[in-house]
Amino acid sequence: MLKKCGYVRVGAITPNLKVGNVSFNVKEIIKLIKEANNKGVQIVTLPELSLTGYTCNDLFHQDVLLDESLKGLELILKETSKLNIIAIIGMPISLDNQLFNVGVVINKGKILGMIPKTYIPNYSEFYEKRWFASSTNAISETVNILDEEVPFGINILFQDKENKSICFGVELCEDLWSVNPPSNEHALNGASMIFNLSASNEIIGKYEYRQNLVRMQSAKTISAYIYASSGVNESTTDVVFSGHSIIAENGTIIKESERFDFNSNMIITDIDINKLMNNRYKDISYMGIKPTLKYRKINIDIKDTNDNLLREYTPYPFVPSNEEIRNNRCYEIFNIQACGLAKRLKHTGIKKTVIGISGGLDSTLALLVIKEAYKKLDISNDNIIAVTMPGFGTTSRTYQNALNLINNMGATLKEINIKESCLKHFEDIGQDPNNYDITYENSQARERTQILMDIANKEGGLVIGTGDLSELALGWCTYNGDHMSMYAVNTSIPKTLVRYLVKWIADTHEDIKDTIYDILDTPISPELLPPDKKGNIRQKTENSVGPYILHDFFLYHFLRYGATLSKIYLIATKTFKDMYDAETIKKWLTFFLKRFFSQQFKRSCMPDGPKVGTISLSPRGDLRMPSDADVSIWLDDII
């Protein structure tokens, strides 16, 4: 199931070792490979020269050490021959009258290939050229090891026979630190994962630098980067190693080891190969430079597994969990919204804006954006024509909050009750006012939009839309009703983020804080159906369309990474296991996709609005989708 959904489980090991004691090191490596296999790891890497220890120095010129290394490799092959796991082990190898520092890729008792180090450090505390040659000095493309002819070179990738996107390359330590790492070519030739066998010592500041290096290389190559480094049991004659292992994916560190541990340690996670490939497909500049090396691809066999997914996903993918980062994000978004509107006003020479205020979150955010845009342009707030339009479903709570908000803003208030107009319209079209159907609801939405548009014509202003990204995704808006405006400032803000954004603004505006906090506590509703007997909101949106926390989660993974429904279902059931059962998640996931496809016609003619994040539904920008696409094959993936 995990492989079917595009996941590969990888690991990075820093073993306890004794410098020069190959027998001890081999036993520890065998134990750790078996442990990783038992945990479902499919590919694991160890540090540079992990069979001997990196710090053997001139002992690398001793035949006994080289001979013992080969014997150790032979024992590892024998002891792991029945395991499915692929392991990458560091050791010295002699070839073409030279010694090479190599990563040996093994599986089921066979050596799949050997990758030599290219960039040999010979500065400061490093003097590897005293023992090892660069891959550029190699003459042969194979090496005879343990009576096997094994592929040798940096132009080797290992590719799954079934899923060609599961493909990895190997580089060693300094290769990463160079101006042109081999992993660049690996990625261009199809490697979605890079494994690095390293021995990186610790000095002040190097920890952070190493983190950034691994993170950025994974971002540049749009790959997973699995980095294993030598630990504190290496020789400390001149330097100290910490055993810093890192697993990054497309610019994000998703797993990291504890440093300075004298015991063996291992980090494990699941790499999302499909997500990486989807990013590559979208990034048309990715293959802007043609590869220069001709690669050899070795077939591997990654077995699928039904193990539990290890990756953790936030239930709020649009909302950073860290408060400081979230506040910074809110600042950026709010300014993008305000500047987008300010530019439109400046370009048109229009100073007046018209907005419908319901006392709900979306219109509150849009009004705050207008106020900020006016501040940037030095326009008086009385040019904001804020219209409250009570209807059949308006409650005293939302009505009063709307009035308080408008008055506190210093905007120009217009109150227009739409009940009589709607009743006359019902009479004209033969609609029973006691029939609370879609006509009853949508007539109110269109009446409100007509009022706003006509006021804008009368005043020479722009109608500012309030609808958000989540509503657009579900098509939860009335066509040519709240669907339409002259500039829509919330168009790429998902519902789950609107709440945090409005709260962030409220906390910086003491004069309207109490009103906004009450709006934050009000259930989400279009208020198109009459209130209950106690005057409370009867029509709650999430009772009809499902929880927005789920829909925003579905939207993010479906559009951002092109995830299949089976994959979204897998990660959603794990992420929301304490909130919703599997059947509920499946129900709303199916609902989401059906609505997303069927409602595209509304998005095809949506008004202009600023993009603020990676996901936008604008037909002019991020989503060019036919309005009559058939959803069947997507639904077949889960139903």
Catalytic residues: 48, 117, 173
Angstrom distances, CA of residue 520 to CA of 242, 294, 411, 543: 48, 59, 21, 18
Measuring CA to CA, which residue among 450, 438, 441, 439 is closest to residue 356? 450
Token pair in block for residue 578:
């304490």
Residue with tokens 């560190």: 253
Token pair in block for residue 191:
């490697």
Cβ–Cβ under 8 Å, residues 48 and 172: yes
Residues 6+ apart with CB under 8 A from 97: none
Taking each continuous run of H as one helix and of E as one strand, the counts in the chain are: 20, 20
Residues 6+ apart with CB under 8 A from 350: 460, 461, 462
Beta pairing class for 156-160 and 296-300: parallel
> In sequence order, what DSSP letters do the residues of 258-291 get, joined into one string?
PSS-SS-EEEEEEEEHHHHHHHHHH-TTTTSS--
Tell me the Cα Rg of the chain: 31
**What number of CA atoms fall less than 13 Å from residue 386's CA on the CB side?**
29
Q: What residues does 313 pair with on adjacent strands?
A: none
Q: What residues does 353 pair with on adjacent strands?
A: 384, 462
Token pair in block for residue 17:
């070792």
Cβ–Cβ under 8 Å, residues 26 and 17: no
Cβ–Cβ under 8 Å, residues 1 and 304: yes
* Percentage helix, strand, coil for the chain under 3-state DSSP, each rounded to 5: 40, 20, 40
Residue with tokens 């160079």: 178
DSSP annotation of 411 reads: P
Cα separation of 311 and 374, whole Å?
A: 45
Amino acid found at 420:
E
Cα separation of 214 and 198, whole Å?
A: 12
Token pair in block for residue 387:
């219209």
Beta pairing class for 86-95 and 98-107: antiparallel
Cα separation of 423 and 4, whole Å?
A: 56
Token pair in block for residue 434:
């006691």
8 phi and psi angles, rounded to 5 deg:
-130, 130
SS3 call for 544: helix
Helix axis angle for 495-506 and 361-377, nearest 10°, is: 50
Q: What residues does 297 pair with on adjacent strands?
A: 157
Secondary structure of 94-121 in HEC code, one letter for each residue: EECCEEEEEEEEEECCEEEEEEECCCCC
Cα separation of 578 and 431, whole Å?
A: 45
Residues 6+ apart with CB under 8 A from 120: 101, 128, 129, 132, 133, 134, 174
